[in-house]
């Protein structure tokens, strides 16, 4: 066996992952995730698409000034305006990358771009040439590469490498690839392009046919790729992207076959998964590989017997390897501020000031008075609530009372502030949550459509906080609101108001697909 080469892990949770409908994040939320990705030792963080909105621009700029150990990347279309905007956002970064792209499939060029192949070819060359003015680290992607003509791909990729592209990303934009075919297509490109050795080759796969991870690994093993583009929890539009946790643990667990190194600190995988799930409101399915609640659970008596006798009879990796531990210290109402602050550090939660730590600790004490044991998931949730409370909010929850009785129509009375002024309203509904939403709407009259109402227990047991996700749509805009509380009706009210706050935001997103 030869010495193991390194696979570069390129995380695009903050860009491609955010394109999931309802998964848009605030700047502070993006910063929290970026810090966790840095803690996990991700090689490249694609922090957003600078030209898409002022919010994305500011998020990339903030992350560029905070994260030091990872390369920070911004996406841009193949035009001077986008590239200059990306360069401006990345200016504070110690290590920066501009990732530019243009569609190369006949379908996309004709129907979407309305450009000839020659026009696309020239625009790609000029884009890379222009980007080189700002950084030596340039990535180029042929969008919808897996459905593109091989001769045209060879021509355009040879040209952009000659112009200075240092990474070539072979994008399976619509999840059309099949592992063997996708891997061989990439292999053929590298063999046919004379200067292919001058660039690192990358894979970016979508999961429309459930093969994103398999295609990515085939791109590495067959095609010679040395960078994998992925997201936490496989987050992404449509069926999602290649899941970071799956490719990383596949490479680590089956090193006997793959023989590659990854620089990821795998013990940070589960904390990252929980953070992204909590912020976006996209729950992780219980049987999800690596990070699902049942990933290391054994219900069968035969399996349990085997595990007790020898762990590796039914476990190919240890739960501790990905950040799960059965021996965590549980905090409670007698826990002090130092223990709480240490747990924040252990979870990779960095608060900017002592005032924020004190405010979070106060909320922790309030929660501890209502439930005896406080778990990591509770802390992540309450810190998120605390950070959201510092953001500019039009609506803010104050209090709620509701009554429901078999055979009677539920009634809710809610007090919430609107730009600092308290409003009181009552409503009726088919259930206590419906009554609460109707009470809020009687005042706000938002006209929003509720697309999703989801309740998940943050931890186990009847004392668990309920985490509610409300996904609202209005005028084509989709947002998630998240609320947590031991009382799920209160959590629902918080989630609905959170979503309304996001609908109030004037920022808009442009979602290019890769």
Q: Is the pLDDT of residue 308 over 60?
A: no
**279-294 average pLDDT score:** 87
Cβ-proximal residues to 220 (8 Å cutoff; 6+ apart), any chain: 7, 203, 226, 228, 258, 260
**199-226 average pLDDT score:** 98
Q: Where are the beta strands (DSSP E) in 300-410?
A: 395-403
**490-503 average pLDDT score:** 92
Instruction: Report the interhelical angle of 269-280 vs 244-253 (nearest 10°).
Output: 170
Radius of gyration of the chain (CA): 24
Q: Where are the beta strands (DSSP E) in 173-288?
A: 200-205, 227-230, 260-261
Cα 56 to Cα 229, 488, 503, distances in angstroms? 20, 32, 16
pLDDT (0 to 100) of residue 176: 96
pLDDT (0 to 100) of residue 327: 45
Helices (H), 40-116: 54-66, 80-90, 106-107
- Conformational region of residue 280, where left means phi above 0, alpha means psi within -120 to 50, and beta covers everything else: alpha
pTM of the model: 0.85
pLDDT (0 to 100) of residue 213: 98
Rounded Cα gap, residues 179 and 341, in angstroms = 46
Q: What percent of the chain has pLDDT over 70?
A: 90
User: Using an 8 Å Cβ cutoff, are 204 and 514 in contact?
Assistant: yes
Predicted confidence band at 305 (pLDDT cuts at 50, 70, 90)?
A: low
Rounded Cα gap, residues 231 and 15, in angstroms = 9
pLDDT (0 to 100) of residue 298: 53
User: Using an 8 Å Cβ cutoff, are 264 and 280 in contact?
Assistant: no
pLDDT (0 to 100) of residue 85: 98
- What is the chain's mean pLDDT, rounded? 89
pLDDT (0 to 100) of residue 510: 47
Q: What is the DSSP track for 287-299? A: T-TTTSTTTT---
Q: Is the dihedral of CA 242, 246, 249, 253 positive or negative?
A: negative
Among 119-128, 179-188, 302-311, 456-465, the least confident range:
302-311
Count Cβ neighbours within 10 Å for each residue of 165-179 and write b for 16 or more, e otherwise.
bbbbbbbbbbbbbbb
Helix, strand, coil fractions of the chain, as percent rounded to 5: 45, 20, 35
Q: Take residue 453 and report the two structure tokens written for it.
A: 């109402």
Rounded Cα gap, residues 281 and 289, in angstroms = 19
pLDDT (0 to 100) of residue 338: 83
pLDDT (0 to 100) of residue 325: 63
| Chain-centre distance for alpha carbon 189 | 31
- Residue of 97, 275, 91 whose CA lies nearest to 169: 97
313 vs 487, residue with greater confidence:
487
Q: Is the pLDDT of residue 496 over 50?
A: yes
Q: Take residue 126 and report the two structure tokens written for it.
A: 């000029």
DSSP-assigned letter for residue 25: -
Rounded Cα gap, residues 419 and 389, in angstroms = 13
Cβ-proximal residues to 237 (8 Å cutoff; 6+ apart), any chain: 16, 19, 20, 21, 511, 513
Condensed to tens digits (0 to 9), the pLDDT of residues 1-59 reads 456 799 999 999 999 998 887 787 889 889 989 999 999 999 999 999 999 999 999 99
- Hey, is 95 helix, strand or coil? coil
pLDDT (0 to 100) of residue 1: 46
**337-341 average pLDDT score:** 82
**347-359 average pLDDT score:** 76
Cβ-proximal residues to 386 (8 Å cutoff; 6+ apart), any chain: 356, 359, 360, 363
pLDDT (0 to 100) of residue 361: 87
Number of Cβ within 10 Å of residue 202's Cβ equals 26
Condensed to tens digits (0 to 9), the pLDDT of residues 465-485 reads 888 989 999 988 888 888 888
Q: Take residue 413 and report the two structure tokens written for it.
A: 């009375």
């Amino acid at each position: 066996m030869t010495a193991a080469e390194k696979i570069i892990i390129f995380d695009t949770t903050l860009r491609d992952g955010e394109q999931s409908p309802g998964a848009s994040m605030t700047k502070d939320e993006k910063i929290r995730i970026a810090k966790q990705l840095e803690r996990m030792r991700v090689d490249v963080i694609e922090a957003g698409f600078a030209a898409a909105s002022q919010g994305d621009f500011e998020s990339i700029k903030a992350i560029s000034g905070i994260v030091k150990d990872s390369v920070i990347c911004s996406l841009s279309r193949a035009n001077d305006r986008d590239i200059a905007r990306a360069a401006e956002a990345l200016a504070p970064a110690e290590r920066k990358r501009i990732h530019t792209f243009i569609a190369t499939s006949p379908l996309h060029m004709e129907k979407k771009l309305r450009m000839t192949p020659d026009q696309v070819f020239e625009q790609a060359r000029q884009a890379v040439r222009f980007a080189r003015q700002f950084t030596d680290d340039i990535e180029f992607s042929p969008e919808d590469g897996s459905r593109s003509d091989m001769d045209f791909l060879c021509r355009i990729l040879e040209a952009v490498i000659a112009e200075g592209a240092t990474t070539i990303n072979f994008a399976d934009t619509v999840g059309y690839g099949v592992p063997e075919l996708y891997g061989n297509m990439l292999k053929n490109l590298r063999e046919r392009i004379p200067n292919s050795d001058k660039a690192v080759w990358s894979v970016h796969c979508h999961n429309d046919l459930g093969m994103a991870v398999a295609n990515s690994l085939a791109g590495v093993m067959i095609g010679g790729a040395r960078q994998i583009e992925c997201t936490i929890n496989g987050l992404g539009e449509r069926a999602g992207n290649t899941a970071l946790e799956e490719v990383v643990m596949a490479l680590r667990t089956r090193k006997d076959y793959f023989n590659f190194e990854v620089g990821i600190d795998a013990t940070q995988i589960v904390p990252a998964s929980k953070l992204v799930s909590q912020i976006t409101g996209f729950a992780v399915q219980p049987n999800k590989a690596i990070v699902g609640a049942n990933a290391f659970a054994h219900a069968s008596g035969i399996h349990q017997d085997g595990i007790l006798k020898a762990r590796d009879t039914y476990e190919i990796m240890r739960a501790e390897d990905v950040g799960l531990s059965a021996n965590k210290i549980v905090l409670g109402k007698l826990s002090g501020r130092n223990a709480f602050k240490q747990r924040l550090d252990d979870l990779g939660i960095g608060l900017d000031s002592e005032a924020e730590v004190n405010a979070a600790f106060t909320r922790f004490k309030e929660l501890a008075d209502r439930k005896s044991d406080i778990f990591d998931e509770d802390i992540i949730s309450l810190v998120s609530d605390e950070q959201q409370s510092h953001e500019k909010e039009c609506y803010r929850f104050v209090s709620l009372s509701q009554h429901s009785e078999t055979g009677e129509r539920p009634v809710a009375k809610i007090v919430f502030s609107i730009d600092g002024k308290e409003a009181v309203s009552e409503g009726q509904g088919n259930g206590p949550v419906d009554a609460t939403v109707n009470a809020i709407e009687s005042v706000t009259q938002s006209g929003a459509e509720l697309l999703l109402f989801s309740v998940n227990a943050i931890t186990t047991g009847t004392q668990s906080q309920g985490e509610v996700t409300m996904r609202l749509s209005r005028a084509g805009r989709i947002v998630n609101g998240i609320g947590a509380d031991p009382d799920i009706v209160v959590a629902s009210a918080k989630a609905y108001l959170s979503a309304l706050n996001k609908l109030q935001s004037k920022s808009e997103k442009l979602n290019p697909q890769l």
